[in-house]
Amino acid sequence: MTELQELRDEVKRIDVKVERILCQLEPISNLYAGNGKKSLEARVSVAENDIADTKDSTRWAMRTAVTAILGALSSVVLYLLKK
């Protein structure tokens, strides 16, 4: 009878531990599932795409600015050479 009671106590302890783990995992699961929004993967993917688009736009803006500066400098040099 004592062994049976010890076994029941161990089972109760395991049940409590499992319940604690489930309580800790539930918020993480909700976050990953989206918690009523798009899933975490989808939100991360959208953010990564936005960052990539911003990088590309910045690259083109820099290229355009450098080209404009070079054009202005060449105009100044050409003007000075013609003087």
Q: How far is CA 58 from CA 24, 40, 65, in A?
A: 42, 27, 10
- Is residue 40 within 8 A of residue 34, CB to CB? The reply is yes
My answer on whether 30 and 51 are in the same domain is no
- Statement to judge: residues 29 and 53 lie in one domain: no
Same domain for 43 and 31: no
Instruction: Indicate whether 78 and 58 sit together in one domain.
Output: yes
Looking at the structure, do residues 1 and 22 belong to the same domain, yes or no? yes
- Same domain for 55 and 77? yes
Domain extent, residue 75, equals 39-83
At 38-50, the pLDDT tens digits run: 777 788 888 999 9
The helix/strand count (H/E) of the chain reads as 2, 0
With a threshold of 0.95, does the pTM exceed it? no
Domain count, the chain: 2
Biggest CA–CA distance in the chain, Å, is: 112
* pLDDT tens-place string over residues 2-21: 888 888 889 999 999 999 98
Instruction: Check whether residue 59 and residue 78 sit in a common domain.
Output: yes
- Which residue's structure tokens are 């975490």? 40
Q: How far apart are CA 38 and CA 46, in angstroms?
A: 10
